[in-house]
Structure 1
Amino acid sequence: MTVLVLALYAEGHTDESFLPVVIQRTAEEILARHGRTVVDVLEPINLNHGIDRQFETREERMIEAARRASGYHALIVHADADYPTQVRALNERYLPGEERVRELREIGESLCGNLIPIIPIQMTEAWMLADPIALCNVIGVQALPQALGIPVHPHQVESDTNPKRTLHEVLERALTQRPRRRRRVNLSSIYEPLARQIDLARLAGVPAYARFLSDLTTTFRVLGLAS
């Protein structure tokens, strides 16, 4: 059996709670549909321990992440768009680092050569709004998306200029429906359980996730893991 080893360089602690699980589930689904053999998909290994403190520029951080991921199947590089499209984040915070990694590999340095960007529009919290049913289940309430201020259609989450604030507001509205003694829920506590419950088919309706899904599928084909 092949064991798939992915690495993740993420921007923030909450991203590190949500993205690894979503990436693992996405990889499992791709390989279940298109895999050429049985593959055991490990949860991506978080490489951001100390990198941001040790290295000043984004390029240096990506190079170090690729160095630590040497021998892994792929390195997934996260950058929130903080903007209505991925273009700016891709051009400013991903492509320069990817190019430097490629140049260093060409002169013989041992770095991971399969880099994949994962760039949510605005921020990762937008993806967390894509599946209202899963979000309500994790919070522990039953409510219509409209009543909580959650977009009905997945693609609409990318129009939200501040999805983290929206998520806070959704949580506040939802908690008013619970008994007073159960109204304390920390937002940070829902990232991982939501990542495990979110419907990937709903998430695929979010264009930024759909692009990541396509890029990951292409990488698996290059690696000979998928047809």
Structure 2
Amino acid sequence: MRTTVRGLFVAEGSSDHPLAGIAELLFRDRGVDLRLTMPPFEQLRGVPKDVESRVEAGLRLMGNQVDLVVVHRDADNVGRAVRHEEIAGALRKTDAPVWCPIIPVRMTEAWLLLDEVLIRQIAGNPRGKAALGLPKIQEVEKVADPKELLRSALISAAESTGRRRDRDAKRFNQQRRQLLERLDRHGPVSKLSSWQQLLADVDAVAT
């Protein structure tokens, strides 16, 4: 792949946009200057949420001047293999060039449950001692609802009460985004199978 690459990023939602920055860093680690564009699909009328429709819309917006398409989809309950084939099937129906999947297991939130120190910092109570109920590395990809567990951990970490607790609970989307923006790609997440698969997928495209 050439040194400078123009890419299209398609995620499940706008809160997942920080994954584009992570993808750019992973490619940069391999000597590829990837520049991802994230079209505001939520603001575009008539663009369905499925991968095929969003990729087609993104390609049109970029005048088909795209070298790489990066697609994010959580594995959820169907598993990585099924999700990968779902993405591949959708892209076969488009004019997408080379592509790279980002498929967290089971959800992106699982990647955010491994850094207790950062969770306490984002919750605004870095010296807190409350138990957060975080899973061990070998268990995190088996958690049934990592999003709800992350929400609970952030509330517990804040150790707030009354109206402040209610306000803290409403900050989840913002806090989740901050955690994703500050995800340490060399930290505990690097031991997860879904992350290692992401690195393999990046390697396959970058080399």
Give the TM bin, normalised by the shorter chain: 0.7 to 0.9
- The residue type equivalent to 2:20 in the other structure is P
Match of 1:187 among 159, 164, 172: 172
1:198 to 2:190 alignment: no
Q: Does the CA-based 8 Å contact 1:134-1:199 persist in structure 2?
A: no
**SS of the residue 1:116 aligns to:** strand
Give, as a single letter, the amino acid of the residue that structure 2 aligns with 1:126: A
Alpha-carbon distance, 1:158 to partner = 0.8
Structure 2 equivalent of residue 165 of structure 1: 148
Q: 1:100 to 1:171 in 2, by over 3 A?
A: same
| Residues 73 and 59 (structure 1), Cα distance of their counterparts in 2 relative to 1, 3 Å cut | closer
Report the CA distance between 1:132 and its aligned residue: 2.4
Check if 1:14 corresponds to 2:7: no
User: Which of 76, 83, 88 is the matching residue for 1:89?
Assistant: 83
Structure 1: distance between partners of 2:12 and 2:45? 9
Aligned to 1:108: none
Aligned to 1:46: 38
- Superposition TM-score, scaled by structure 2 size: 0.79
Which position in structure 1 is the counterpart of 2:119? Answer: 135
Determine if the alignment matches structure 1 residue 77 to structure 2 residue 71. Answer: yes
Structure 1 match to 2:139: 156
Distance, in Å, in 2 between the alignment partners of 1:135 and 1:53 is: 37
* Residue 213 in structure 1 maps to residue 199 in structure 2: yes
The structural deviation recorded for 1:52 is 8.0
TM-score by length of 1: 0.73
TM superposition shift of 1:66: 4.2
Write out per-residue CA displacement over residues 31-67 of structure 1, whole angstroms, 9 at most, x where no aligned residue. Answer: 3xxx2xxx6554x321352568424754333333344
Unaligned runs of 5+ in 2: none
2:56 partner amino acid: I
Indicate conservation of the 8 Å contact 1:58/1:97, yes or no: yes
- CA shift for structure 1 position 182: 6.4
Structure 1 position 62 matched with structure 2 position 55: yes
Structure 1: which 5+ runs fail to align?
102-110, 222-227
Question: Does structure 1 residue 100 correspond to structure 2 residue 101?
Answer: no
The one-letter code matched in structure 2 to 1:205 is K
Deviation string 1:126-179 (CA, Å, 9 cap, x unpaired) is 1111322322222232457x92111232x4221111111001110111111x69
Contact 1:63 1:97 survives alignment (8 Å): no
- In structure 1, the residue matched to 2:101 is 117
Q: Report if the CA contact (8 A) 2:120-2:154 is conserved.
A: no
Q: Give, in angstroms, the shift of residue 196 of structure 1.
A: 3.2
Match of 1:23 in 2: 23
- The answer (yes or no) to whether the contact 1:63–1:100 under 8 Å persists in 2 is no
Contact persistence 1:86–1:121 (CA under 8 A) = yes
